[in-house]
Amino acid sequence: MQREAASSGLVKAERRRLFRAIRIALLLSALLPIAAGLIYAESTYRQRVGEATEQLGRAVALASEHSLRVFEGADSTLSEISQMPTEPPGEAERSIQRMAAILASRPHMRILGVTDAGGEIKVSAPWRSSMNVSWRDYFRVQRDRGSHGSLYVGTPIIGAKDTFFSVPISRAIRNADGAFAGIAFLALDRGYIGRFFESISGPSAETVGLLSSSGVLLTEHAGAALGADYPHQLAARIRSAQHETARQGHVEIEDADGRPNIVAFKAIGDYGLYAFASLRQNTIRAAWWLEVREVLMLLALPIAGLALAAFIAERQLRSLKKLVAALASNRARYRTIFNSSPDCNFLIGRGESGDVPIFLEVNQNSQAFFGLPSDQLAGRAVNEILEPAEASFIASSFQRCIEMRDTLQREHEVGAGPKPGHWEMRMAPLPGQAGIAIGSIRNIARQKYLTSSLRELTGRLLQRQDHERRQIARDLHDSAAQNLLAASLELKLAADALSRRNGPWHEHLSRIRDFIDRTQKEIRGVSYLLHPPMLDEAGLPNALHWFVDGFQRRTNIRLELRIGHALRDLRLPAEVEMALFRVAQEALANVHRHANASTVRLSLDMDEQGMLEFRVEDDGTAAAGVGGPDPIREGVGISGMRERLMAFEGTLTFRVSGQGATLSARVPLAQQAA
């Protein structure tokens, strides 16, 4: 068998290597021209982006240099007019004449002026009498900040008379003691800078503009719609980029249509202004595509031919593969089933001595369980390769399986060896093969851990539920019951006060008191059922006596309760007492609803090993017609009882027969005490 398996494995390996080599050759022959085309396209695109970025840098350098000259001239002009006298009238008139001469020599400036500390224009050219600019940003900023000699560029405004867009620029005037005395201001023709930007814009720089650090767009020549938020977003990106690129650099931002733009920027002196130039990436892609599409189309022809050849070759390979697979289908099916299982599957038989079994065949998962590959296990006895405990476990299981001639299922805790865990083993005798069995081992350590965690969580949830029931019962007793008692006493006083008068109210008051008394009894009963105080005060046996007596009075079902002698004076853990009391409640409720029983026997006892057992047996007719003891389909009530007991490693069984039903709840009390 081993030689056959080895020969079959070699044939399969050679066949797989042949098919893999052919596929790789065909795939590479198709991928190489594709990769070459992609590399060429990617390098060409990167080159176009680099060229576009360089051209944007040159455009923004020109825009920055021109703007710097303009603002340096503005700064010099403001410094000059800030020294001009505004009083007396003769001096003011000479100042106005000097300003007019400056405007005549510098046509890109529209207005020059000087204000006092309140914003009133004292002298200006052209002259504007009785005009206050204190509400303008270029005045407010200079008045409110304490810096000396700093230039401020305000938000562009439209002139009241000439309706031209102008950019206001101001400088603070201060007294000898440093107090604010007004501003010197000028209005710069916005179109002057815009016309220069227009002259340097073009295909390589679609938009050229001037932006303040606060996000105010001073002037621009735009080849595409920028959008209302574009200046603020660009200013934010520039401020962020400056931490890495100092005073100039490149950022990416979307325009009003959501299309990405490459934007080059450069700071203009120390005025808090930036010149920028942008180009849409779509424009770069369009130029790039015109350049590379012919080359890519030429590469597509051999790629298509290679793809067709690969398709034809693949079809031939598939036909050959199906033919080879059909010749070994039976063997392949067996190996697939045997090896595809996540468990460790094995064939085991009697050894030469007859006492120690040997592995005949093991699947590839043996390494995870036995620490050895499958080819080192075949033909070896279990005691040669396994720890004594695991070898004894497998040997005894094999012996029992062969003797029983039936499927055997056992569990074993592995504490040593290469792979510790918790084994779940299934073993069955192989039909037609005497002394040979097939088995599987699964590591269920994680399932055990999850079951333990679920049991712990269930216990906490049930404890929380019992705590809430206890709180509700206490609230009903302390609040609702006391209020009803007070209402009953008040009605009695009212009835006594009206006892000497005739009228129908006596009968009404009496009925109201009866309703209140019945409600009190119902609240008391519900409160006790939610959480019987006797369970905390006197323990489970006394609480069961109280509950059985009350249930017997309410239902007319005869109940017999027996408490084992060992438990009469023994106080159980509070959680165990609560769990068994809830089991008793649910069991008797099921008897009342479904069993149609006349007698119910309850017993609570503990054996010498500390196993606590609570049994409920009835003589109901719900199971009439059942031929023998069998488990029935569980409902929510039985599932709830079982979950309660799982928190204490307990078990619950429920069987019915022609003589009635039996429920048995068992809890290992010794573990709870530990």
Is position 599 within any domain?
Answer: yes
Most confident of 181-190, 204-213, 456-465, 533-542: 181-190
If one compares 154 and 311, the residue with the highest pLDDT of the two is 154
- Arithmetic mean of pLDDT over the chain: 75
Q: Give 527's pLDDT tier (boundaries 50, 70, 90).
A: low
Domain that holds residue 521: 444-531
Based on the fold, state whether residues 579 and 521 are members of the same structural domain. Answer: no
Q: Is residue 331 one of the residues assigned to a domain?
A: no
Residue 111 β-bridge partners: 187
State the pTM of this model: 0.42
Lowest mean pLDDT among 47-51, 144-148, 208-212: 144-148
Q: Is residue 74 part of a domain?
A: yes
**Same domain flag for 434 and 472:** no
88/100 Cα distance (integer angstroms): 19
Question: Which residues neighbour 524 within 8 Å (Cβ) at sequence distance 6 or greater?
Answer: 477, 481
The whole-number pLDDT of residue 354 equals: 66
Q: Over pLDDT 90: what percentage of the chain?
A: 0
Residue 516's pLDDT is: 73
Predicted confidence band of residue 555 (pLDDT cuts 50, 70, 90): confident
pLDDT over 70, % of the chain: 70
Tell whether 470 and 345 lie within a shared domain. Answer: no
The pLDDT value recorded for residue 625 is: 42
Structure confidence at residue 315 (pLDDT): 72
Q: Are residues 114 and 246 in the same domain?
A: yes
Q: How many CB atoms lie within 10 A of CB 3?
A: 7
Which of helix, strand or coil describes residue 410? strand
CATH number of the domain encompassing residue 623? 3.30.565.10
Q: Is the dihedral of CA 481, 487, 488, 493 positive or negative?
A: positive
606 inside domain: yes
Shared domain for 97 and 211, answered yes or no, is: yes
On the question of pLDDT at 163 being above 50, the answer is yes
Q: Read off the tokens for 548.
A: 């059985």
Last residue of a domain, one of 261, 282, 303: 282
Residue 180 lies inside a defined structural domain of this protein = yes
For residue range 582-619, list pLDDT tens digits in order.
Answer: 888 888 888 887 778 888 999 988 888 888 888 998 98
Is the pLDDT reported for residue 502 higher than 50? yes
Residue 82 sits in the same domain as residue 179: yes
Greater confidence (300 vs 438) lies with: 438
Residue 175's pLDDT is: 85
Q: Minimal CA–CA distance to 452: which of 671, 214, 205?
A: 671
Instruction: Please give the pLDDT value at position 6.
Output: 45
CA distance to 113, 283, 424, 598, 616, per residue, from 557 (Å): 109, 92, 46, 5, 14
Q: Where are any strands of DSSP class E within 392-499?
A: 408-414, 421-429, 436-443
How do beta strands 408-414 and 260-268 pair?
A: unpaired
- Same domain, residue pair 380 and 408: yes
Residue entry with tokens 């398709």: 311
- Give residue 630's pLDDT band: very low, low, confident or very high (50, 70, 90): very low
One-letter amino acid identity for 320? L
Asked whether residue 351 is domain-assigned, the answer is: yes
Q: Which amino acid is at 434?
A: A
Shared domain check, 175 and 185? yes
**CA neighbor of 160 nearest in space, from 184, 187, 178, 179:** 187
Strands 599-606 and 558-563, by their bridges, are parallel
Select from 531, 554, 570 the last residue of a domain. 531
pLDDT number for residue 247: 73
- pLDDT category at 329 given cuts 50, 70, 90 is low
Residue 641 tokens, joined = 């009882």
Q: For position 7, what pLDDT does the model report?
A: 47
How many distinct structural domains can be found in the chain? 4
Identify the pLDDT of residue 498.
65
Residue 115, pLDDT > 50, answer: yes
- What's residue 422's pLDDT? 79
Across 112-126, 245-259, 388-402, least confident range: 245-259
Q: Are residues 79 and 222 in the same domain?
A: yes
Tell me the backbone φ, ψ of residue 238, rounded to 5 degrees.
-65, -45
**Has residue 609 been placed in a domain?**
yes
Most confident range (mean pLDDT) of 373-377, 467-471, 499-503, 518-522 is: 373-377
Q: Are residues 84 and 113 in the same domain?
A: yes
Residue 491's pLDDT is 67
In angstroms, the CA 350 to CA 381 distance is 9
If asked whether residues 219 and 86 sit together in one domain, one would say yes
Residue range 416-427, pLDDT digits in tens: 655 667 777 788
DSSP-derived pairing of the beta strands 651-657 and 630-631: antiparallel
Q: At what angle do helices 2-81 and 89-105 cross, to 10 degrees?
A: 130
Query: pLDDT-derived band of residue 627, with 50, 70 and 90 as boundaries?
Result: very low
- Tell me the residue type at 640: G
Who's near 57: CB < 8 A, 6+ residues apart?
248, 250, 264
Q: Is 50 exceeded by the pLDDT of residue 2?
A: no
Higher pLDDT: 77 or 358? It is 77
Helix, strand or coil, per DSSP, at residue 353: coil
In whole angstroms, give the CA distance from residue 517 to residue 520.
5
Average pLDDT score over residue span 231-251: 69
Cβ burial of 543 (10 Å; 0-12, 13-18, 19+) is: buried
Q: Which long-range contacts (CB under 8 A, 24 or more apart) does 93-98 make?
A: 95/123, 96/123, 96/124, 96/125, 96/127
Q: What is the DSSP letter of 464?
A: H
Let me know whether 452 and 364 are in one domain. Answer: no
Query: Tens digit of pLDDT for each residue in 427-477?
Result: 888 787 777 888 777 777 777 777 667 666 766 666 676 666 666 655 555
Answer with the one of 531, 550, 584 that is the final residue of a domain: 531
Q: Is residue 45 part of a domain?
A: no
Q: What is the CATH number of the domain that holds 71?
A: 3.30.450.20
